[in-house]
Amino acid sequence: AKLEATGGVPRSADGHGVVLGTSQDGGAAAIDLFIEPQCPHCGQFVAEYGDAIAKNIAANRLAVTVRPLTFMDYGSDDYSARATNAIFLVAADRAATPALVWKFIQGLYIRLMSTASLADNDGIAKVANDVGVPADTVNRIAAAEPQVNGNVVSDGNLSVMDDYGVERATPTVYDTVGKDQVDFDDPEWLDQLVK
C-alpha cells in the first residue's frame, strides 16, 4: 500500500482499493471487502458486522481493503460511482483515519437503508459532515470533485475478483492471507479470522 506523503489513508497497490488498518506484527488478518454502494445486502452486512470490523481495525487485528463496485449504476443515476469517488475523497483527506473512512461507509449504508433512495451529491456530503469529515473534503464531495473514476475502480476490482476466482457478487469477503473466500453466513467468521 502506498501512502501519499500528504497523509490520509493509503490506497491498495493497484489503486482500486482503500486500505483500512495495518497488520502491525505481520500476523493480523487481512481481507478484501467488495461492496456496491447501492447494494442492500452490503448494507445489511455493514449493519451487522460494521462495528466489530471497526473494533478489529482499531486494535490492529484486521486490515480491510475496501474495494467498491458500481455494477448497479444502470439507468440514469450514477450513485455508486459518485459514492465510490466520495470514499476515495475522504480517504485522501490529510486528516483521514481508517476509523473515519469506515464510519463514512457505514453512514452511507445507514442512509441508503433508512431512506431507500439514492443520495445526491449534497446528500453524500451530509453523511460525510455528520461523521466528522473535515469541511474542505465535505465541500469537495458536494461539488463531486473527481478523485477517482468510479467505473475504472469497479473494473479494476472486478478483475481482482476474477483473479481470486470468486463470483462477481457483493458483498464478498476474501481472506488475502489464507487466500480463500470467507463465508460470512457463519456468524463466527470474524472471530475465526482474527483469532
Query: How much is the average pLDDT of 100-104?
Result: 98
Query: How much is the average pLDDT of 71-83?
Result: 89
Helix (H) or strand (E) holding 91: helix 79-92
Q: How does DSSP classify residue 133?
A: -
Yes or no: say if 58 and 65 are a contact pair by the CB < 8 Å rule.
no
Question: Pairing mode, if any, of strands 29-35 and 18-20?
Answer: unpaired
Q: For 9-22, what is each residue's pLDDT tens digit?
A: 999 999 999 999 97
In the numeric block, the cell 502491525 is attached to 24
Report the half-sphere exposure of 120 (CA within 13 A, side-chain side). 2
Query: How much is the average pLDDT of 65-71?
Result: 97
**Position 195 confidence tier, pLDDT thresholds 50, 70, 90:** confident
At 65, is the secondary structure helix, strand, or coil? strand
Q: How does DSSP classify residue 39?
A: -
The percent of residues in the chain predicted with pLDDT above 90, rounded, is: 87
